[in-house]
Amino acid sequence: MRPYLPLVPAALATLLACAPRQAPITTPVTTTQTRNAPDWIDHEEIPDGLGAVGIAQANVMGDKSLQRTTAVADARTKLAGKLKVRVQSMFSQLNQQVTTAAADAGQKPVKSDVMDRVIENVTRQVVNQELAGTNTRGAWTDPADGSLYVFVVQTKASLDQALAGAAQSAIKKEIAQGEQSLNTALDKLDAAIAASANSPKE
């Protein structure tokens, strides 16, 4: 007799159909809501200035002071990047205004190497000055792993003042050295700073 093989696949199919299906694998959610953390950890942009979140893991020595210093340093590094973006945005606005004004007056635009030098000097001065004047607006320790989060901010009023002062100083220095095309920049500086504050932040 020939074995009745067709029943085997049918029975196997029935067992597979009745077997419980595994739930799809999901990625753990780590938002501020699920961790009961402050909102600034996920939303560090603020209307009154620039903010950055620094993180430091718990160290083996349990040194809270060192952990805080590390977290603040991390936040300041990130804030320095944002400050540079703000300076670049301000000079992009300024250069556009100066170039347009020069074209309308039949004058030569500012040389690119001169503008690059001004931008570099202003960036360095603003970053150094403003990082020294930052303040910590919030701190939170994750109970799950002991990581410390700090929220370091720089106010808009302080930043705008620093931008104006540093830019005026650098531009006047170039004018004194013969770059007269930058004269128009001093008249348009405030407008450029205001425009850069409203530019999309990175």
Answer yes or no: is 11 within a domain. Answer: no
**What pLDDT, on the 0 to 100 scale, is given for residue 140?**
95
d(CA 52, CA 151): 6
**What pLDDT, on the 0 to 100 scale, is given for residue 67?**
95
Answer yes or no: is 138 within a domain. Answer: yes
Answer yes or no: is 12 within a domain. Answer: no
Could you tell me the pTM of the whole model? 0.75
d(CA 168, CA 175): 10
Mean pLDDT to the nearest integer, 183-200: 87
**13-28, pLDDT tens digit by residue?**
554 455 555 544 433 3
Q: Domain total for the chain? A: 1
Answer yes or no: is 23 within a domain. Answer: no
Answer yes or no: is 22 within a domain. Answer: no
**What pLDDT, on the 0 to 100 scale, is given for residue 22?**
52
**What pLDDT, on the 0 to 100 scale, is given for residue 24?**
44
Answer yes or no: is 140 within a domain. Answer: yes
- Domain containing residue 140: 36-197
Answer yes or no: is 18 within a domain. Answer: no
Task: Read off the CATH number of the domain in which 120 is found.
Answer: 3.10.129
Answer yes or no: is 160 within a domain. Answer: yes
Instruction: Return the HEC string of 63-128.
Output: CHHHHHHHHHHHHHHHHHHHHHHHHHHHHHHHHHHHHHHHHHCCCCCCCHHHHHHHHHHHHHHHHH
**What pLDDT, on the 0 to 100 scale, is given for residue 104?**
80
**58-105, pLDDT tens digit by residue?**
988 889 999 999 999 999 999 999 999 999 999 999 988 888 887 887
Mean pLDDT to the nearest integer, 27-56: 79
- pLDDT over threshold 80, residue 4: no
